[in-house]
């Protein structure tokens, strides 16, 4: 990173989203990133991010990264560290081909180009959130670090292209980039989004709030998860580690907990009781089932583990984190 003793300036693109908000809160609570103090924040998204209360300078920006000049305006702040979180999520990217490519691919490349045209000696650290959707079937039960990305969805394809661009721009010294493939983040707070993976969270979140949840896939569907708390920790760790340790392979899969939907439900039963489980209604959705069928089920993230990335060890822990962080430790309406 290019920060100095006066601290570093941070740009979060996608700051209004769930992970963006939690990352902002964590950065402000810590007041620093690694050994560097936090000098300022720029929070950007397609909708206006919330303005946090803080002593340091915080700018909030409404922008469409794919619009002409938008990326250049953000890079004009010369942030030392950029978190690129913005994306059209999986289900929406599959349903709206043009929008998915415009936001997920064109927006990403325009950001990278804005950094390139800013010229040397400007060379920020860039943390890009990719996805396990870059992998497609057929794949082994457990995917290792050497498995080749071959996505079966538009979203996964857009993320895979972003990974390749990140590696090339990093190789050329334009920025110092790392791409982290997030497992499905669960339990996501708030209202459901258009992600095909949304039900993994809703079948836990809604019953914990005393509400009915719809389950569109069979109980034997297996998937890899990490909590929002772990996701924020991934991002901060990616922002501080020595990226020379990655070599030319700048993208890596994050650790996650591989469980079936049935195992999720059993964890809910253990933590919140039978009444919560009864609020789950099974309603098969062939489109969602087809999309999820093309996703990987488990990872052996040895590179990430060697670099110090960690996630939860049980789904009970993930459920309890949601209760503690979002429900003030209480279950029910």
CB 53 within 8 A of CB 99: no
Separation in Å, CA 120 to CA 78, 123, 140, 172: 12, 7, 43, 12
Q: How far apart are CA 41 and CA 8, in angstroms?
A: 9
Query: How many Cβ atoms are within 10 Å of 195's Cβ, its own excluded?
Result: 22
The token pair at 123 is 């060379």
CA distance readout (Å), 304 to 80, 179, 206, 244, 291: 23, 11, 32, 14, 26
Looking at 13-153, list the stretches that DSSP marks H as alpha helix, in order from N- to C-terminal side: 18-30, 70-75, 90-95, 97-101, 107-118
* Residue in the block written with tokens 């990133």: 33
Beta strands in the chain (DSSP E): 8-13, 32-33, 36-45, 57-62, 81-84, 125-131, 176-182, 184-185, 213-215, 222-226, 251-253, 257-260, 280-282
Residue 155 designated active-site: yes
**Angle, helices 228-240/18-30, rounded to nearest 10 degrees:** 60
Active-site choice (101, 122, 155, 169)? 155
Asked whether the beta carbons of 248 and 163 are under 8 A apart, the reply is: no
* Residues that are catalytic: 155
């Amino acid at each position: 990173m290019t920060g100095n003793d006066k601290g570093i300036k941070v740009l979060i693109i996608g700051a209004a989203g769930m992970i963006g908000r939690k990352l902002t809160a964590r950065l402000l609570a810590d007041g620093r990133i690694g050994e560097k103090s936090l000098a300022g924040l720029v929070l950007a998204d397609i909708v206006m991010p919330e303005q946090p209360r803080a002593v340091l300078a915080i700018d909030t920006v409404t922008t469409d990264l794919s619009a002409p000049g938008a990326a250049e305006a953000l890079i004009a702040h010369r942030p030392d560290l950029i978190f690129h979180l913005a994306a059209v999520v999986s289900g929406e990217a599959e349903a709206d081909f043009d929008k998915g490519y415009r936001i997920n691919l064109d927006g990403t490349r325009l950001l990278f180009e804005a950094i390139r045209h800013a010229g040397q000696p400007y060379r920020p650290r860039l943390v890009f959130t990719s996805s396990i959707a870059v992998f497609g079937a057929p794949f082994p039960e457990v995917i290792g670090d050497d498995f080749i990305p071959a996505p079966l969805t538009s979203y996964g394809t857009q993320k895979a292209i972003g990974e390749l661009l990140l590696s090339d721009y990093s190789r050329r010294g334009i920025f110092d980039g790392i791409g982290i493939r997030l497992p499905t983040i669960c339990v996501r707070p708030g209202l459901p989004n258009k992600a095909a993976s949304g039900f993994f969270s809703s079948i836990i979140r809604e019953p914990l709030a005393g509400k009915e949840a719809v389950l569109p896939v069979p109980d034997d569907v297996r998937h890899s998860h990490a909590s929002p708390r772990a996701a924020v920790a991934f991002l901060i760790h990616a922002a501080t580690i020595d990226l020379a340790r990655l070599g030319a392979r700048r993208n890596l899969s994050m650790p996650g907990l591989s469980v079936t939907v049935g195992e999720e439900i059993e964890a809910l039963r253990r933590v919140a009781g039978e009444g919560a489980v009864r609020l789950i209604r099974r309603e098969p959705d062939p489109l969602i089932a087809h999309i999820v069928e093309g996703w990987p089920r488990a990872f052996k993230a040895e590179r990430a583990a060697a670099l110090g990335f960690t996630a939860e060890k049980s789904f009970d822990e993930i459920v309890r984190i949601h209760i503690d962080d979002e429900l003030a430790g209480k279950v029910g309406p």
